[in-house]
Amino acid sequence: MSFFVSDAFAAEGVVSPGVAPISDVVFFLLIGVALFFLVFLPQLRRNKEQKKLLQSLNKGAEVVTSGGILGRIVEVDDNFVLLEIYENINISVQKHSVTQLMPKGTYKARKKTEK
Confidence of residue 108 (pLDDT cuts 50, 70, 90): confident
- Could you report the per-residue pLDDT of 22-76, keeping only the tens digit for each? 778 888 999 999 998 898 999 999 999 999 999 999 999 999 999 999 999 999 9
49 and 66, same structural domain?
no
Residue after which a domain boundary falls, among 55, 70, 94: 55
**Residues whose CB is less than 8 angstroms from the CB of residue 45 and which lie 6 or more positions away in sequence, other chains included:** none
- Could you report the per-residue pLDDT of 16-27, keeping only the tens digit for each? 555 567 778 888
User: Do 86 and 41 form a contact (C-beta atoms < 8 A)?
Assistant: no
- Whole domain around residue 2: which residue ranges? 1-55
Q: By C-alpha distance, which of 102, 101, 77, 109 is closest to 90?
A: 77
Q: By C-alpha distance, which of 106, 52, 103, 54 is closest to 76?
A: 54
For residue 55, what are the CA distances in angstroms to 20, 49, 104? 51, 10, 18
Q: How far apart are CA 72 and CA 64, in angstroms?
A: 9
Q: By C-alpha distance, which of 73, 93, 85, 82 is closest to 111?
A: 85
51 and 2, same structural domain?
yes
Residue after which a domain boundary falls, among 19, 34, 55: 55
